[in-house]
Structure 1
């Protein structure tokens, strides 16, 4: 081979090497860009999540504390028109608002004129008189005495104390007048106005007055609804998974059932609400707005999730466990109940908790069965009319009062807390009881 041929071969090899390096460089550049796109998408997603949570927490944090006004209340029998607290007719027609008005007049004797006094009375919540009524009925010995009582302030005063009212705008463009602002400043200077933890948010039911609205009714409604859902969906879902995985023959019918179960997991939740309305209410005439109906509807919705996760947990149990049990003389039922089921239970519980978390956040199916109604009473059982936390959030978000914005965000924070706790419980159970084969 001549030197000329050798040089040509070397040049060809050099060209091929350069081309290969160029291709590798492009490939590495594509991989770097792909990684950069992935990192950028994660960062963007986290930024939007942070914005969402920040907006919710910023708007809802103020709902966890409330403004109270200290007044010296005289339980004057003549003023309220009650001489006997055991007389229901007197209690029905009593002027309980006179207790608050007299206390305000005594605190601000220099305020005169009908409009100014009306503005003065509006510093206190309109339901404060009923709080005094309940206190007097619980303590009849207070009739004819005087005591200092902390009463809930009106929602506009509460917004003022939380910095949500701009007092620099003209008086006719804001809800708080200059007179009310001066009275509030007087109360602050004398220590008769304070901000405290808002217990009513967790102890009261729904109310048209923002300062008195709470989530206790919705929380108990969610509890009873999930209780019915868990009591029905867990045993039915686990039993269905065991039958399909261990006992059902592999034929056309079981294939159709499996396909339908997988398809039901993707059906919009409002379809289950329509089914519940048509069957449970129109056919079986179960009470509307009752947690038992909501639980039945959510059971239908969560069953596919529980069945699919339970079947996956059963499949994860090694065949050697089954073969060893059968080899020692156990029947198929004993093999499943004593060996397969205990080992698959952590995965089943995890799927069930995730299904319950999904049911806790559902709104659309419950709207279809009437759980959207305004219900101020606290439910005492699954058959009482109730609402749930997501529906309560939906109702508050549609109200015009400014204070309900904070209530809505506060309820969302509580709901997110429950959802996070349920998911953390699912992760804990999986980590604690998971067995690696």
Structure 2
């Protein structure tokens, strides 16, 4: 039986319809899988951020005492704070001032705090109870009180309201980060201290206040409640200044030369291959390189932001070079041809026409490279920046920590129920800085974007 032309046409149409239906099903399936992948990634990121925020945000508020304290002249037996006399040399004045500060350091400031607490508790305490009483406050608050008086000696004989940090164990107890049903032997505070803490919290003498200590203090081992990020923040700031000052100009200049001026030969091919390989080298290798060259050979100071900045510069350079070259390659050849056609030189073509158009991509790549360097930890550990430093560095040559390293150190602290939230708070600060840099990159890209 012969097949008519109409039947063949119908058969062909049915085959095409089946093929189209199959392709449409595959396209829908691919779209669903893509959407699922995006939603899964966004969900995991949301879970990560939510867990960090849930743990870290409470650490920005800390148990704090608000109480009146009397600067008793019988306890603070000091002469008036020296003032520089006319005609007195700076060295003589500094000598008298140092002697006065030494005497102020010998005052028993803890007695003033003990008396203020006793007044709030309305109890006459036995000497054996002083240890339980002093466990309420952070151990270095007596030094804070001393510094407050040294800044303003007119407080002598006055009664003022002061803010003092509660101890880390009291903060944990009041926030419920420790099981209250545990036996006394397993509690971090004595039964008497816990009862006093609950009493003062109910009376409003202890309140959760925003923790400025987290941002203004350095790390502390003797007083965990006072530990802060000031030293690590300044260390990271110095390192980022060094990275920006070195890696951005060197990286952009290298990329411009390789892309626009360098001859295409075996040597430039080898350089390009090595740059691409360096971008994939683990960061810890750069730490080993920095420790052996900058510290071992050149003798630069251990655990200094200068060394950390140099190591991170080496790590960031390949990223900036690759990003800059990609941005330069995206410029249409017609821009270069038009500039050369009206008589511009090669240098004028690159710096007057190509670079301004490529600037958004160059800035974006540079800032993202710097943001990546801000979060690096492994190379900094190898150059000694995990050492405990209790001072805020004033120059890049002084010892310091860094924000990622501080997070690493706090994560391993033995007072887990206090520093777990503190660690998440530090992560929030670091993420805020990195997101700010990324937002800056987007803004700069939009601002300098040129359409042709």
**TM-score with structure 1 setting the length:** 0.91
Query: Per-residue displacement from partner, 1:56-114 (whole Å, max 9, x unpaired)?
Result: 00110011112211333233354467567653543344322222222223333436445
Q: Distance in 1 between matches of 2:348 and 2:6?
A: 75
Query: Per-residue displacement from partner, 1:108-160 (whole Å, max 9, x unpaired)?
Result: 34364455432222111111111111011112222344333221111122223
Distance 1:340 1:142, change over 3 A: same
Q: Distance in 2 between matches of 1:189 and 1:204?
A: 28
Does residue 236 of the first structure (1) align with residue 250 of the second (2)? yes
Match for residue 447 of structure 2 among 424, 432, 435: 432
Does the 8 Å contact 1:68/1:152 carry over to 2?
yes
Query: Per-residue displacement from partner, 1:191-246 (whole Å, max 9, x unpaired)?
Result: 32222111111111111223211111111111110100111111111111111111
Q: Distance in 2 between matches of 1:196 and 1:281?
A: 43
Q: Distance in 1 between matches of 2:19 and 2:352?
A: 59
| Matching residue of 1:72 | 68
Q: After the TM superposition, which of the residue ranges 90-99 and 271-280 deviates more from structure 2? A: 90-99
Q: After the TM superposition, which of the residue ranges 135-144 and 104-113 deviates more from structure 2? A: 104-113
Q: Does the residue aligned with 1:282 lie in a helix, a strand or coil?
A: helix
Does the 8 Å contact 1:59/1:409 carry over to 2?
yes
Does residue 382 of the first structure (1) align with residue 379 of the second (2)? no
Q: Does the residue aligned with 2:391 lie in a helix, a strand or coil?
A: coil
| Matching residue of 1:5 | 2
| Matching residue of 1:315 | 329
Q: Distance in 1 between matches of 2:333 and 2:40?
A: 44
Return 5+ residue gaps in structure 1 as ranges.
none
Number of residue equivalences: 433
Does the 8 Å contact 1:80/1:99 carry over to 2?
no
Does the 8 Å contact 1:305/1:355 carry over to 2?
yes
Q: Distance in 1 between matches of 2:105 and 2:115?
A: 20
Q: Distance in 2 between matches of 1:304 and 1:93?
A: 56
Q: After the TM superposition, which of the residue ranges 35-44 and 400-409 deviates more from structure 2? A: 35-44
| Matching residue of 1:49 | 45
Match for residue 129 of structure 1 among 107, 129, 142: 142
Does residue 216 of the first structure (1) align with residue 230 of the second (2)? yes
| Matching residue of 1:62 | 58
Distance 1:124 1:267, change over 3 A: same
| Matching residue of 1:90 | 103
Return 5+ residue gaps in structure 2 as ranges.
82-98
| Matching residue of 1:254 | 268
Matches within 5 A, 1:400-411: 400-401=414-415, 402-411=417-426
| Matching residue of 2:408 | 394
Query: Per-residue displacement from partner, 1:244-288 (whole Å, max 9, x unpaired)?
Result: 111111111111111111111111011111111111111111111
Query: Per-residue displacement from partner, 1:332-390 (whole Å, max 9, x unpaired)?
Result: 22222222222222221111101111111111111111111111100111111111111
Distance 1:277 1:6, change over 3 A: closer
Q: Distance in 2 between matches of 1:379 and 1:32?
A: 58
Does residue 162 of the first structure (1) align with residue 159 of the second (2)? no
**1:324 CA drift (Å):** 3.0
